[in-house]
Structure 1
Amino acid sequence: MIRPRPVPPSGVPASYAQERAWLASRLTHDPPTYCAVDEFPVHAGIDEADLVRALALLTVRHEPLRTALHVIDGELTQYVHPWVELPVERADLSGLDPVAQTQRRRSLRTELACRPFDPERAPLWRAAILTLGEGTWSVLFAAHHTVYDSASRINAHAELTEICAAAEEGREPQLPDLPRTYSEHAHRERARLGPTRRGALAAHWRSRLAGLPPVHTIPLDRPRPLARTFRGAEARTALPAGIGASLTAAARRLGTRPVLLLLTAYVALLHHHSGAHDVVVGLPVAGRAEPETLSMVGTFVNMQVLRVDLTADPDVTELLRRVRAAVRAGERNDIPFQTLVELLPAPRLPGVPPLYQLAFNYVPAGGLGAAVSSCEEDLLLDVADDMVRIVYDVALFDRSTADTLLRDYVRLLAAALEAPDTRLSRLGAVAGPRRAAARPHDERPAATAPRTTVERQVADAWRDLLGTDVLDVHQDFFALGGHSLQALRMLARLTSAYDAQVTLRTFFADPTVAGLATALQRTRLGRVACR
């Protein structure tokens, strides 16, 4: 009999990856953006009950599949339940023809992705067991990014396959040893980032990011609003036939990985459209450097700030070398992104994401999933084996611009693979001309000192947290040096004092003393009116 490990009576700190994914997911109401949906084919002489038992064993082995997340005194905390009710649905598709089966499976994937999760209720995953025919099954598995990442997909699929094979053969499954639980991992990573390590990392990144451009110079279609909306849209296109073979051949010839060539082409695209020689890109990294984490199901992904020097008009081969060096430098000095923001408290521009606004993501297996309607960054390029898409902030860009960027990326990628000795100045000739930027405008209200009791109390809370007086109720919390975790703690303090509920998303929409004071008063009055 399999028994779960003992669980502490109280919660334990969330991991840094959980913290980042949770913060991001609270800023939008778009479930597909923060939900991974995978399909695991199963060919075995088993029945539905065997598949349910396989999912149960997977859940027992991996804590994140039994975890809920709660904010306690402004800190995100994970609660690992010893047991959860399995959220498993069933669908018999065996009577459908192959075309109808494919359509129904696609529809079910979308349904699973679009159904929101409540982070405070475990489990943060759901599955559907599909009967496709005699001895042929498929398991659709949807999970929130706070408990599941792309490496988890490989681990979960491998374990389910082995458990089902063992059930068919009447033996015990041979599964990887898990020497550490996920909650133990969270404890260890926080202990490892002690004062000495934090100081060394801070020194490295302050040097590495000195003089970092506060915002990219890609032309916008309209002036940037003072507050971020996190509303996004996407445009996608298929990669041309033969690009995969060209990519593999070029990577082998240049002694690199295909993903680095894809990233290098993106850097070239950003240079072409911005004219900048100092390009900054947000890059997700696996975060599984320790061997004990390799077989775990959970979220470990971190965002790395990639800064690439494009001076002296490098050719593609030299640009690739610079990109690869920047990636390696970040891997050697890995630090949780939110900690990096905290350690580099430089004032920020209102409405501008911290440190980077342009991101790149490579999906090594499977498709790009359901369409999304939110965006953390200004632009995100997602590349899969046969598809590429641009996710863009609709407050800044039009669909026509996203289409142009996609077209230019595919052209630049093909040209770079064909002639890696081409210099950037000539590589840009295969793409279209740069567009003109939207003219900026200034809608900032006149400076106003805190006026009401609530505004003064909010200003006092900001002063205590940020170490600076707030003399204008229209000053931006993040421009004053605040970051997302400080915002979470500050909201916990103020909402408790006012018996009011203000979400992170509401605060991010207007991160000023005036905006927060208004939100506190509004929700408090709403509560009083209902009593």
Structure 2
Amino acid sequence: MRDRSALGGDRPPPASYAQERAWFAARLTHDPPTYCVVDEFPVHADLVAGDLVAALALLAARHESLRTGLRVVDGRLTQDVRDRVESPVEQVDLSGVGYADQVERIRALREALARRPFDLERPPLWRAAVVELGEGAWSVLFAAHHAVYDTASSFNVRAELTEICAAKQEGREPRLPHLPCTYGEHARRERARLTPARRAELAAHWRERLAGLPPVHTVALDRPRPSTRTFRGAEVRAALPADVRTSLADAARHHGTRPVVLLLAGYVALLHHLSGSDDIVLGLPVAGRAEAATLPMVGALVNMRVLRVDVAGDPGVTALVGRVAAAVEADEAYDMPFQTLVELVAGPRPPGVPPLYQLAFNHDPGGVLGAPVSSCEEDLLLDLTDDLVRVVYDVALFDRATVEALLSDYLRLLATALDAPDTRLSQLGPSRAVTGVGPRRAAPVAAVAPSTACEREVAAVWRDLLGTEVTDVHQDFFSLGGHSLQALKMLATLTAAYRAEVSLRTFFADPTVAGLATALRREHQGGTA
């Protein structure tokens, strides 16, 4: 099936900024559940399995993202939009199975759907299972890659699926929301909006906002940070205590804010105590749906934003919540693609350290945590739903026991903050002593000019691509102004010349001339450049 956008000679739409991030991130880890979400939609209607398969096909026909893959064309990541796709739907009959067995079988099916990898070049990037439970009850399990689906998409899919099924049962046409634009049009619009003038405005805001940003947090580690990232992760999860769940809404009204701000403020307080720093920096996902045209859309629109909170002066809980809310609001009008932010706010980047932030927070109300993950992008991620909380952590940095204690401290601290809003930050600290090796500081390295033939060749390609001389083989590609798509083009040139297979994951682990030259020599398959 040909790319619909290519018919008539038009160029395919560019990947959106969110798709770019998902595409690159998926190449840094080989753990499918990290980039796949599995939603479960209950359906109660007098239908047959074929009706639900047809409903999913209608959703795919309406929403371009559900017929889209990603491919590189001339060094540019583009959307491969198909006119139609075969609906990858499995039908499972559990109507004759007891309730306990149904729950276990659905759990196993969810995990199987999550762990089966997607090929991002082969749409559709979703799959589903229609499960018959008996007496008009159904469960639709819907698994999709983050390159085409996000949290807001799940609400849209559920609403449309419910309406399609109701219409089928009532013998009428479904009343579905109008889609003002396609996802491809959205991707073109967001790039058109980032004009040179707007880019300069955003750059000025963020350079001021992130001036003096610490290159790495000071939370104590269980072992020294390795010079290259492994992306190997694990998680610890627990139920959100009932007293915390019941207190959140009342406490939010008391503080004049949303429950998520209280959950975030509790995490900020914990990180202050674990790090000893008054300057707390976090990665925070934002929905990316400020335009009305994007509200009914199914697709990836989430962006990562850097949140910076000053907690100096031992504020009380009420003041801390106010500072967190003010920090969130201060940046809402200055949303920009995270990868562009990394390019604009260049700074020191110690080896093995993710840029700008290494600690993250995510809140997915109504969401499901899904299968345990075995990879991570940040050092620590606090991830909450309405009733569960987990910490995803880098196993190269932290022991499980440390993270279990951290999660316990967060839940205790949060309960105290909700019950006693006059409590000072200093009184919210963990009851245990914080131990660890602390962040390892990179020792200064003397500049080393490219010396081998391979290093000189890599430096020459970087110079042509970035417009700057490389005088030190330990200089970071991204600190020199490079970005991810330029890295892709550069790797394509050098791997072809050396007949070597060097992955993005390998390059991102050590994005220097020395690191890439070593990888090229190691993977060289006997050819001559």
> Normalising by structure 2, what TM-score?
0.95
CA–CA separation in structure 2 for the residues paired with 1:317 and 1:414 = 14
Match of 1:505 in 2: 505
8 Å CA contact 1:282–1:360 kept in 2: the answer is yes
Residue 197 of structure 1 pairs with residue 198 of structure 2: yes
Deviations 1:427-460 (A, max 9, x none): 21x5322224258487998865333332211111
Residue in 2 aligned with 1:515? 515
Amino acid at match of 1:85: E
Match for residue 270 of structure 1? 271
AA matched with 1:81: R
What letter corresponds to residue 422 of structure 1 in structure 2? T
- The structural deviation recorded for 1:481 is 4.9
**Residue 103 of structure 1: how far off its partner (Å):** 0.1
How do 1:445-456 residues align onto structure 2 when only pairs under 5 Å count? Answer: 448-456=448-456
Match of 2:492 in 1: 492
Offset of residue 499 of structure 1: 4.4
Once the two structures are TM-superposed, the CA of residue 346 in structure 1 deviates from its matched residue by: 2.1
Look up the SS of the partner of 1:180 in the other structure.
coil
Root mean square deviation, CA, Å: 2.0
Q: Mean Cα displacement is larger for which, 336-345 or 469-478?
A: 469-478
Contact 1:39 1:139 in 2 (8 A): yes
Secondary structure of the residue aligned to 2:77 is strand
CA apart distance, 1:501:
3.3
Matched position secondary structure for 2:283:
strand
Once residues 440 and 340 of structure 1 are traced to their aligned partners in structure 2, the CA distance between those partners, rounded to angstroms, is 25
Deviation at 1:287, TM superposition (A): 0.4
Matched, 1:460 2:460: yes
Task: Tell me: CA distance 1:95–1:260, structure 2 relative to 1, closer, same or farther (3 Å).
Answer: same
- Give the corresponding residue for 2:51: 50
Moved more, 460-469 or 110-119: 460-469
**Total equivalences in the alignment:** 524
Q: CA deviation at 1:423?
A: 1.1
Q: Distance in 1 between matches of 2:177 and 2:49?
A: 24
| Mapped partners of 1:348, 1:444: distance in 2 | 12
SS in 2 for 1:306: strand
SS at match of 1:113: helix
Q: Which residue of 2 aligns with 1:82?
A: 83
Are 1:321 and 2:322 matched, yes or no? yes
Distance 1:391 1:91, change over 3 A: same
| Map 1:30-429 → 2, pairs under 5 A | 30-428=31-429
CA distance in 2 between partners of 1:152 and 1:527 (Å): 48
**Is the CA contact 1:448–1:471 (under 8 Å) kept in the aligned structure 2?**
yes
Work out the CA distance in 1 between the residues paired with 2:398 and 2:485: 28
Change beyond 3 A, Cα 1:169–1:440: closer
Query: What is the CA-CA distance between 1:151 and the residue it aligns to?
Result: 0.5
CA contact (8 A) 1:130 1:137 kept: yes
The 1-side partners of 2:272 and 2:481 are apart by 28
Q: What is the Cα deviation at residue 392 of structure 1?
A: 0.7
Pick closer, same or farther for the CA change 1:380–1:518 going to 2, 3 Å: same
Give the partner amino acid of 2:503. T
TM-score by length of 1: 0.94
Q: How far did residue 522 of structure 1 move?
A: 4.2
Extract unaligned runs of 5+ from structure 2: none
Post-superposition shift, 1:465?
3.5
8 Å contact 2:179–2:297 — kept in the other structure?
Answer: yes
Distance 2:62 2:311 in 1: 47
SS at match of 1:381: strand
Determine helix, strand or coil for the equivalent of 1:307.
strand
Distance 1:5 1:81, change over 3 A: closer
Q: Using the alignment, how far apart are the partners of 1:343 and 1:117 within structure 2? A: 32
Pair 329,441 (structure 1): closer, same or farther in 2 beyond 3 Å: closer
Alignment partner of 1:22: what SS? helix
2:6 equivalent in structure 1: 8
Per the TM alignment, residue 137 of structure 1 is displaced from its structure 2 partner at its CA by: 1.1
CA distance in 1, matches of 2:159, 2:215: 43
Alpha carbons of structure 1 residues 439 and 169: separation in structure 2 relative to 1, 3 Å? closer
